[in-house]
Amino acid sequence: MVPFGGWEMPVYYSSIVAEHHAVRQRVGLFDVSHMGELIVSGPDAEIFLNRVLTNDVSKCAAGRAQYTFLCNEQGGIRDDLVLYWLEPMRFLLLVNASNVEKDFAWLREHASGDVTVENHHGEIATVSLQGPLAAKLVPAPAATLAIFHIAAFDVCSVRCWVARTGYTGEDGFELLCAIGDVMRLWNELLAHGAPLGIQPCGLGARDTLRLEMCYPLHGQDITDATTPLEAGLGRFVAMDKTDFIGRDALVEQKARGLTRKLVPFQMTEKAPPPRSHYPLLAEGRRIGEITSGAPSPSLGIGIGMGYVEMDAAAPGTQIGVDIRGRTFAAVVETKPLWKKNK
Amino acid sequence: MNVPTNLRYAKSHEWVRVEGDTAVVGISDHAQHELSDIVYVEPPNVGDSVETGKECAVIESVKAASDIYTPVSGEVIAANTALANHPELVNQDPYGQGWLFKVKMSDPGEVDELLQPDEYVSHIGE
Q: What is the pLDDT of residues A273-302, one digit of tens each?
A: 999 999 999 998 999 999 999 999 999 999
pLDDT at A334 over 80: yes
Q: Is residue B35 included in any domain, yes or no?
A: yes
Q: Could you tell me the sign of the dihedral formed by the alpha carbons of A263, A166, A297, A202, in that order?
A: positive
Q: How many domains does chain B have?
A: 1
Q: Would you tell me which residues 22-41 of chain B have a C-beta closer than 8 angstroms to some C-beta of chain A?
A: 36-37, 39-40
A214 SS3 class: coil
Residue B30 belongs to some domain of the structure: yes
pTM, entire model: 0.94
> Nearest CA of chain B to the CA of A60: how many Å?
37
Handedness of CA A223, A224, A228, A231 (dihedral sign): negative
pLDDT given at position A193: 98
Q: Which string of DSSP letters, residue by residue, matches B56-79?
A: EEEEEESS-EEEEE-SS-EEEEEE
Tell me whether residues A17 and B42 touch, CB distance under 8 A: no
Q: Chain A partners of B61 at a C-beta cutoff of 8 Å?
A: 16
pLDDT, tens digit, for every residue of A209-248? 999 999 999 999 999 999 999 999 999 999 999 899 999 9
CA distance A176 to A38: 12
pLDDT score of B1 more than 90: no
Which chain B residue is nearest to residue A295, measuring alpha carbons? B62
Could you tell me the pLDDT band of residue A31, with boundaries at 50, 70 and 90?
A: very high
Query: Which residues of A lie closer than 8 Å to B, measured between beta carbons?
Result: 11-12, 15-17, 204, 208, 272-273, 275, 294-295, 297, 324
Give the per-residue pLDDT at B126. Answer: 64
Helix (H/G/I), strand (E/B), else coil: A146: coil
- State how far the Cα of B44 lies from the Cα of B50, in Å rounded to an integer: 9
- CATH number of the domain that residue B83 is part of: 2.40.50.100
For residue A342, pLDDT beyond 70: no
Partner residue facing B37 (CB), from A17, A275, A324: A17
Percent of chain B whose predicted confidence (pLDDT) is above 70? 99
- Residues of chain B contacting residue A208, judged by C-beta atoms under 8 Å apart: 62
DSSP string, A247-300: HHHHHHHHHH--SEEEEEEEESSS-SPP-TT-EEEETTEEEEEEEEEEEETTTT
Tell me the angle at which helices A16-25 and A203-213 cross, rounded to the nearest 10 degrees: 50
CB contact under 8 A, A204 and B65: no
Residue pair A71/A77 in contact (Cβ under 8 Å)? The answer is: yes
- Report in angstroms the alpha-carbon separations of A123 from A37, A94, A273, A287: 9, 13, 38, 45
- Rg (C-alpha) for chain A, rounded Å, is 20
Taking the alpha carbons at both ends of chain B, their separation in whole angstroms is: 8
The sheet carrying B22-27 orders its strands as B8-9, B14-19, B22-27, B101-105, B74-79, B49-50
What distance in Å separates the CA atoms of residue A177 and residue A127, rounded to the nearest whole number? 9
Q: Which of B90, B21, B25 is nearest to B61 (CA)?
A: B90
In chain B, residues with a C-beta closer than 8 Å to the C-beta of A276 are none
Cα separation, B53 vs A132, in Å, equals: 48
Sequence ranges of the domains in chain A: 2-211, 259-342
Number of C-beta neighbours around residue A140 at 10 A: 8
Q: Output the average pLDDT for chain B.
A: 96
* Chain B residues close to A11, C-beta within 8 Å: 36, 63
Pick the CATH number of A2-211 from 3.30.1360.120, 3.30.310.220, 2.30.30.830, 3.90.180.10: 3.30.1360.120
CB contact under 8 A, A16 and B42: no
Q: Report the relative pairing of strands A28-31 and A199-201 from DSSP bridges.
A: parallel
Radius of gyration (C-alpha) of chain B in whole angstroms:
13
The predicted structure's pLDDT at residue A4: 72
All residues of chain B having their beta carbon less than 8 Å from the beta carbon of residue A321 are: none
Q: How far is A127 from chain B (nearest CA, A)?
A: 22
CA dihedral A290, A94, A192, A10 (to 10 degrees): 50
What's the whole-number mean pLDDT along residues A314-339?
97
- Measure the CA–CA gap between B108 and A287, rounded to whole angstroms: 48
Closest among A238, A239, A217, A235 to A226, alpha carbons compared: A217
Asked whether the predicted pLDDT for residue A181 surpasses 70, the reply is: yes
Residues of chain A found within 8 Å of residue B68, distances taken between Cβ atoms:
none
CB contact under 8 A, A275 and B40: no
What average pLDDT does the structure give for chain A? Answer: 96
> What are A46-96's pLDDT values in tens digits?
999 999 999 999 999 999 999 999 999 999 999 999 999 999 999 999 999
> Quick check: A272 and B58 CB within 8 A?
yes
Query: Counting Cβ atoms within 10 Å, is residue A231 exposed (0-12), middle (13-18) or buried (19+)?
Result: buried
Query: Are the beta carbons of B62 and A295 separated by less than 8 Å?
Result: yes
Instruction: Say if B88 is an interface residue toward chain A (CB within 8 Å).
Output: no
For the domain bounded by A259-342, which CATH number is listed? 2.40.30.110
How far apart CA B116 and CA B97 sit, in angstroms, is 22
Which one of A13, A17, A278, A290 would you mutate to disrupt binding with B, by most B Cβ within 10 Å of its Cβ? A17
Per the structure, the complete domain to which residue B98 belongs is given by: 12-104
What is the pLDDT, as a whole number, of residue A100?
A: 97
Q: pLDDT tens for residues A244-265?
A: 999 999 999 999 999 999 999 9
* CB of A220 closer than 8 Å to CB of A49: no
CB-CB under 8 Å, B58 with A295: no
Contact A68, A233 (CB under 8 A): no
Q: Which of B90, B92, B20 is nearest to B57 (CA)?
A: B90
Give the largest CA-CA distance in chain A. Answer: 60
